[in-house]
Amino acid sequence: MFPVYLLCVLFVSEAVCMYSSKALEGYPAGYLADCPGTAIPQHIPLEDLNYLTIHVQGKGNFFNLKNKYNYYQMKNLAKDPQIDFKKPTVMYVGGFLDHPQLPFAMTIGVVYKKLGYNVLLLDTNRFTTVAYPVAAANMRTIGKRVAEMLAILSKFGLDPKKLELVGLSLGGHTISFIAKNYRFQTGMNISRITGLDPSGPCFRNLGPEDRLDQTDADFVDVIETNIDGYGMAAPVGHVNFYVNGGEFQPGDIFWAPCNVVCSHIRAFTIWISALLNPNSFIAMKCDSVQEARNKDCYDKNPVVTNIVGLNTDRNTQGIFYLATENNFPYFMGLKGLKKENEFFDSKLNLSKDTSWSFF
C-alpha cells in the first residue's frame, strides 16, 4: 500500500541504495513507553476522600448546577431527585487534569441525560492535578475507592447490569480499576465499559491486571485514535475500533495537522457523535492491528461490520477499522466501507483531475 522510498548514499564511484522497511526502521515504542507504570497502589489518606466526589447530572443545559456527593455521602446520593435506578446509569471518568465542570464532562453529561440515563460524573481532579506518572499511579487506589462507592449504591438499588462506565484517556484505565474492584467487592460484573483512547503512557507495557482489559466487564469496547502517542495500540477490548488506522486523525481544517492532543481527544468527539447519530459509524473487521494501521481491511470477503455507539454488536468481536470525515459529526455511514472514500486517499489522489479542488 505504501510507496517504497529509496535512499542512495553516493560514494566516489558507486551508489549504495537502501530500501526502507520496518525490519530496518523498527516499530514505534509509543510516547513515554516506559513511564514507568506501576502495580503498587498509592496511599491516599482517608481525609482526602472528601475530595473524591460524584456530580449528578440534572436536567437542563450545560451550565445547570449539579449536586455533588463525596466518598462518605453515597446514601444521600441514592436519594438525589435526579436518580432513578430503574433507568440505566452511566458514570463518566475524565482524564488527566479533567473536572466535571470542564467541557468534556459537561457535554457528555447532557447527552446521556437526554438519552434517559442517570448520569454520574466522577471528579478525580484532586488526584490528577499532579505530575502525570503520579496521577497514573493514583488511579489504582481511586478505582478501589470508587468501587466502594458504587457497592454502597448497589445496596440502594444500583443494578450493575444497568451500569456503564465511560473513560477518556487516563479515565480509560480508571474505569478498569473501578470495574475490577467492584467485581472483587461484590462478586458481580459491571455491564459495559467504554475506553476512549485509553492512555498509553505508563500503561502500554503493563499486563491485564494493571490496565484496561476485556475481562473487566461483561462487555468492553475501545475507540483508538492516537495509539502511538497518548493512546495505546493493543486491542484490549472485546471490540476495538481503530479510527482512520488509529494513529493520527485528519484535521478539521484539512491542511492543518491534527497533532497528538487533537487526535487523542477525537475519540471523545466521535463517541459524542455516535450517541447523537445512532448506527452511523460503520466499521469493518480487520485481521490485525497492522492491517488497521495500513487501512488494508477493505477487501475482505465477506465484509464483517460493527457499529460504534450504544448499539455495538457485542457478539461480533475483534479489531475494526473505522473511516471518518474530518469534520463533526465525522461519520460516513456505508460510504466508509469503500476504499475510494477513505479521507486522505480521496483528497490526495493526484491521478484525479479534481485533486486540488479540495484546497
Class of domain 36-348: alpha beta
Which of 154, 169, 263, 273 is catalytic? The answer is: 169
- Residue 190 — very low, low, confident or very high, per pLDDT cuts 50/70/90? very high
Say how many C-beta atoms besides its own lie within 10 A of residue 90's C-beta: 25
- Look at residue 65 in the predicted model and tell me its pLDDT: 64
DSSP alpha helices (H): ranges in 33-170? 74-78, 103-114, 125-128, 132-155
Q: What is the mean pLDDT of residues 287-315?
A: 96
- pTM to 2 decimals? 0.89
User: What are the tens digits of pLDDT across the range 49-62?
Assistant: 999 999 999 986 66
Q: What is the mean pLDDT of residues 141-145?
A: 97
C-alpha cell at 42: 498509592
How far is the CA of 104 from the CAs of 14, 169, 267, in angstroms?
59, 12, 11
Handedness of CA 199, 114, 221, 66 (dihedral sign): positive
What is the separation, in whole angstroms, between the first and last Cα of the chain? Answer: 25
Which of 191, 264, 273, 280 is catalytic? The answer is: 264
**Whether 197 is catalytic:** yes
- Residue 14 — very low, low, confident or very high, per pLDDT cuts 50/70/90? low
Which of 98, 123, 197, 221 is catalytic? The answer is: 197
- Look at residue 9 in the predicted model and tell me its pLDDT: 46
Bigger pLDDT: 19 vs 176:
176
**Whether 43 is catalytic:** no
With left for phi above 0 and alpha for psi between -120 and 50, is residue 44 left, alpha or beta? beta
- Residue 232 — very low, low, confident or very high, per pLDDT cuts 50/70/90? very high
Q: What is the mean pLDDT of residues 13-25?
A: 67
Average pLDDT, the chain: 90
User: Hey, where are the domains in the chain?
Assistant: 36-348
Least confident range from 36-50, 56-70, 116-130: namely 56-70
**Whether 169 is catalytic:** yes
